[in-house]
Structure 1
Amino acid sequence: MADSLPQRECAGARPRRLPLIDLLRGILLLAMASYHFSWDLANVRLVSWGVAVDPLWRGYAVAIAASFLLLSGLSFRLAERGGFDLFRYGTRLVRLALAAAAVSIGTYFVFPNAWIFFGILHMMLLASLLAPLLVRLPGAVLILFAAIALVLPHVWRSSAFDGIGWGFLGLAETPPVSNDLVPLFPWIAPYVIGLAIGGPLARLTERQTRQLPRGSHWLAWIGRHSLAFYLLHQPLLYGFAAGLAALIPVDPAVQRSSFVADCRAEYQRHGATPEMSERFCGCVATSVDETGIWANRDADTTFEPLLATAVQACQALPSGDISDPEAPESDD
């Protein structure tokens, strides 16, 4: 994804790629694929991993996204040092815009209630548009701007930014639901840090990227084709996970755990604390344990009234009376 910007824009000459940048990008792409495949397995309820809510999984996803953005900012700084080629820059912006649009359109049809309207590619596109202005700022100013971007959404939000139209800012009191929301604040911060450190690291990078470690060239090859990898890997992985789900028998315990994890994620998106969502979702799951609902992997409309009744009953209970989500399963 970071190669949406040129590595070395030299006027009148094709930019020379930096192998170490490609290698690092390839490693990040594989890490991203491992996270997405884990999410896919959880989404089709083959595993009970709390990919959407578990702090370790969320930290893994944040680290990957931040690393991509930092590497993208670093790449732009390295490109800008050799002179700015407007044609190459514009061409790659168009490619990035088309790829982001493809992600939005595809996810709208697959996940209409949580489609990706501003994900990592959209954030890279916006950062790339801002980069020619930001790169002119002194390093100290860039670091200060990155710090402000990191802190701002934690100290100030406004209902004026609620709704999908302002969702790209990351300053809404109630963020819109999306399977991958990477808003301007705080996510511009790692990109700006990449711009800031790119200058001092440029000469060191030039000296140390002439030779790659033995056996790592395939990773660099993946890194050189990062945009194609990004667009193709998730449809293939999700299709593989869905195929496995069609073949592997249902495990009721996994179904129950997956429901609780999805329920917790949904309630936490709407402002509930982890403790509140854990108690409430455990109550709902326990209320329908005797219905046989966990014996079905796919959604069954006949269970919707049962779930609605359980939700109403658990909402009416005092918080201290709500069951624990780890309550024992029914033997049926």
Structure 2
Amino acid sequence: MPTGRYDRLDALRGAAIAWMTAYHFGFDLNFFGWIRQDFYRDPVWTWQRTAIVSLFLFCAGLSQAVAHAQGQRWPRFWRRWAQIAGCALLVTAGSWLMFPRSYIFFGVLHGIAVMLVVVRLTAGWGRWLWPAGAIAIGLALAAPVAHASWPALGFLDRPPFHWLGLVGRKPITEDYVPVFPWLGVMWWGMAAGQWLLANRPQVLQGALAPQAGALAWMGRWSLSWYMLHQPVMIGVLAAVTAVLR
């Protein structure tokens, strides 16, 4: 199979990055008082966040399907993994400076770092990835009910267990992407990627429309974009706010 970049997959990942950037710009405008929105409870924003994270993790699963099919070896996998894990630590440090009471201890990069290892180890499950993903999502949905019925499960709401996601209440943090339910989304991405490569490879390998070139470029540099876009936007908005107010 082809061993180069898959432009369509890059473009899909780029679309997730572009949507995430727009979302974060709105969050930053709200943080500096330019707009008044409830990003924590308003469905307009909470559902967008869910959709963005879902698309991003689904793309991560698709990418792992391609990497596995291309025979990516563990040393290359671990080099990329180390980049993601290192960036996750930087996100924790940066968020602690801005939000010391709700810093990000297990956000999207932390979740990806853990889930990539699980997805890579289970790549051979084939069609069983579909029900495994459904179970992962179902466990998270059932967790609040289980906590209400069995108070002894309260330990899952506290460190060092709340990163699993089997919580009765969401911890206070600016970004929370635990293993459950999100592993299910990445498993579905892996399953979809494996099916497409086996049955409809042209969906991923086909030519990309010229209009989507910018999205593909963003998708190829997704980690760098993720790490830089917020410091840049926050810096610019802070400067503009200081000048105008």
Q: TM-score, normalised by structure 2?
A: 0.90
When residues 59 and 174 of structure 1 are mapped into structure 2, their CA distance, relative to the original with a 3 A threshold, is closer
RMSD over aligned Cα, in angstroms? 1.8
Match of 1:235 among 217, 222, 231: 231
Per the TM alignment, residue 207 of structure 1 is displaced from its structure 2 partner at its CA by: 6.1
Per the TM alignment, residue 243 of structure 1 is displaced from its structure 2 partner at its CA by: 2.6
Q: Does 1:120 align with 2:108?
A: yes
Per-residue CA deviations over 1:69-124 (Å, capped at 9, x if unaligned) read 01111110111112231221111111111111111111112211111111111111
Per-residue CA deviations over 1:250-308 (Å, capped at 9, x if unaligned) read xxxxxxxxxxxxxxxxxxxxxxxxxxxxxxxxxxxxxxxxxxxxxxxxxxxxxxxxxxx
Match of 2:212 among 213, 216, 220: 216
Q: Secondary structure at the match of 1:137?
A: helix
1: distance between equivalents of 2:203 and 2:34?
A: 47
Q: Does 1:246 align with 2:242?
A: yes
Aligned to 1:33: 21
Q: Is the 8 A contact 2:196 2:203 kept in 1?
A: no
- Unmatched runs of 5 consecutive residues or more in structure 2: 148-152
Q: Which has the larger radius of gyration?
A: 1
Q: Secondary structure at the match of 1:215?
A: helix
Q: Does 1:48 align with 2:39?
A: no
Q: Is the 8 A contact 1:18 1:206 kept in 2?
A: no
Aligned to 1:298: none
Q: Is the 8 A contact 2:196 2:204 kept in 1?
A: no
When residues 209 and 191 of structure 1 are mapped into structure 2, their CA distance, relative to the original with a 3 A threshold, is same
Greater shift after overlay, 161-170 or 23-32?
A: 161-170
When residues 207 and 145 of structure 1 are mapped into structure 2, their CA distance, relative to the original with a 3 A threshold, is closer
Aligned to 1:20: 8
Per the TM alignment, residue 210 of structure 1 is displaced from its structure 2 partner at its CA by: 4.2
Aligned to 1:177: 172
1: distance between equivalents of 2:69 and 2:90?
A: 32
Greater shift after overlay, 225-234 or 145-154?
A: 145-154
- What does 1:55-74 align with in structure 2 at a 5 Å threshold? 55-74=43-62
Of Structure 1 and Structure 2, the greater helix share is in 2
1: distance between equivalents of 2:109 and 2:202?
A: 27
Give the letter aligned to residue 145 of structure 1: A
Give the letter aligned to residue 166 of structure 1: F
- Unmatched runs of 5 consecutive residues or more in structure 1: 1-7, 250-332
- What does 1:248-287 align with in structure 2 at a 5 Å threshold? 248-249=244-245
Q: Does 1:153 align with 2:140?
A: yes
Q: Does 1:200 align with 2:195?
A: yes
Q: Is the 8 A contact 2:39 2:46 kept in 1?
A: yes
2: distance between equivalents of 1:134 and 1:208?
A: 22
Q: Secondary structure at the match of 2:163?
A: coil
Give the letter aligned to residue 132 of structure 2: F
Aligned to 1:107: 95
Give the letter aligned to residue 22 of structure 1: D
Match of 2:79 among 69, 91, 103: 91
2: distance between equivalents of 1:102 and 1:205?
A: 37
Flag the structure with more relative contact order, 1 or 2, with Cα contacts below 8 A and sequence separation at least 6: 2
Q: Is the 8 A contact 1:163 1:175 kept in 2?
A: no
Q: Is the 8 A contact 2:197 2:204 kept in 1?
A: no
Give the letter aligned to residue 100 of structure 2: P
Per-residue CA deviations over 1:24-82 (Å, capped at 9, x if unaligned) read 11111110000011111111221012222210211111101001101111110111112
Percent identity, please: 31
Match of 1:135 among 111, 120, 123: 123
2: distance between equivalents of 1:205 and 1:115?
A: 41
Q: TM-score, normalised by structure 1?
A: 0.67
When residues 207 and 50 of structure 1 are mapped into structure 2, their CA distance, relative to the original with a 3 A threshold, is closer
Greater shift after overlay, 110-119 or 159-168?
A: 159-168
Q: Is the 8 A contact 2:164 2:178 kept in 1?
A: yes
Superposition misfits of 4+ residues, deviation over 4 angstroms? none
Aligned to 1:167: 162
2: distance between equivalents of 1:192 and 1:222?
A: 24
When residues 81 and 102 of structure 1 are mapped into structure 2, their CA distance, relative to the original with a 3 A threshold, is same
Aligned to 2:150: none
Give the letter aligned to residue 17 of structure 1: R
When residues 113 and 208 of structure 1 are mapped into structure 2, their CA distance, relative to the original with a 3 A threshold, is closer
When residues 208 and 185 of structure 1 are mapped into structure 2, their CA distance, relative to the original with a 3 A threshold, is closer
